[in-house]
Amino acid sequence: MAKISAADVKKLREATGAGMMDCKKALVEAEGDFDKAIDILRKKGQKIAAKRADRESTEGVAVTRINDAKTEGVAIVLACETDFVGKNEKFVALGGQFADIALNYSTKEEFLAADFGGMSVADKLVEQTGVIGEKLDITAFEKIEAAYVGAYTHIGKIAALVGLSAAVDNAETLAKDIAMQVASMGATTLSYKDFDPAYVTAETEARIAVIEKDNIELGRLGKTLKNVPQFISMSQLTPEVLAKAEEAAKAQLAAEGKPEKIWDRILPGKMERFIADNTTLDMEQCLLDQTFIKDEKKNVAQYVKIYGDVEVSSFKRVTLG
């Protein structure tokens, strides 16, 4: 039987992250052969991974990396099964190591096939499943390239990347602020102009149906009914629609006995309210049309204009679960 030294166990432990006793057992089984011991630990991971294949990996850590030129960024989620493992320092560090590698690849498939200390990233995930005893997986991989790329991570649970069209002065602040907006508000597209008209129509019908159903119950209980919007996106507010809304607002002012000479002071507010009430989809899903979280008097597009000749060219968001 080969003599297994404490130094051999320590070396294997540092290479794999496995526990001391697991490393010693693997070395004993391998009769001191270091590479064979690593293979033994990897096979153990494969067995555990197979047993836990149907488990849900809804905890973990979201990580971003930006290259030195600030022109490329990647966001990944290294997922596990429990919050206890997700908060472990070694697990978080592993997530950082994976992100460092991911920055060099364009797709999740390329990343999983990339080298990690002599094995593929995919094999490393299997190995660490054996070490940790929980299913590990890369559940999100997003990459963007732009003239300037910034990022924001919220307590390791949500991460966002933002690409700007130009590296303007204070681009770092702008990109981080917009990435924070993306992380917080979960936009899915840049502008209402990106929506498919059929999607907007279907979503309008669905939302109106839900509100009308709610109003039946509210009416039965004698409570205030919810406003039923005519529209839900700026893409529906044509010049004709807005003109009709303005005429309706004027008719209301006349019915209320408001002097016509003061209508010009009241109408802008009424039109703003009409637009706000009828663009709820935009506020939820369109980054540039959302109210800016750090200054509710502006929307995101207005905030971006402060920085001059620059636009948000792209964004991505990853989250646990």
Kindly report the backbone phi and psi dihedral angles of residue 136, in degrees, each rounded to the nearest multiple of 5, phi listed first: -110, 145
Q: Residue 72 forms beta bridges with which residues?
A: 145
Q: Which domains does the chain have, with CATH numbers?
A: 6-50 (1.10.8.10), 59-174 (3.30.479.20), 193-305 (no CATH)
Q: Per-residue pLDDT tens for 237-263? A: 999 999 999 999 999 999 999 999 999
More confident residue, 65 or 133: 65
Q: Per-residue pLDDT tens for 255-302? A: 999 999 999 999 999 999 999 999 999 999 999 999 999 999 999 999
Of the chain, the percentage scoring pLDDT greater than 70 comes to 95
315: which 2 tokens? 């964004």
- The reported pLDDT for the residue numbered 131 is 82
The three-state DSSP-derived secondary structure of the chain is: CCCCCHHHHHHHHHHHCCCHHHHHHHHHHCCCCHHHHHHHHHHHHHHHHHHCCCCCCCEEEEEEEECCCCCEEEEEEEEECCHHHHCCHHHHHHHHHHHHHHCCCCCHHHHHHCEECCEEHHHHHHHHHHHHCCCCEEEEEEEEECCEEEEEEECCCEEEEEEECCCCCCHHHHHHHHHHHHHHHCCCECCHHHCCHHHHHHHHHHHHHHHHHHHHHHHHCCCCCCCCCCCCCHHHCCHHHHHHHHHHHHHHHHHCCCCHHHHHHHHHHHHHHHHHHCCHHHHHHEHHHCECCCCCCCEHHHHHHCCCCCCEEEEEEEECC
CA pair distance 36, 274, nearest whole angstrom? 71
pLDDT confidence band for 316 (50 / 70 / 90): very high
225: which 2 tokens? 């009914």
- Model pTM? 0.80
Q: Per-residue pLDDT tens for 54-98? A: 777 889 999 999 999 999 999 999 999 999 999 999 999 999 999
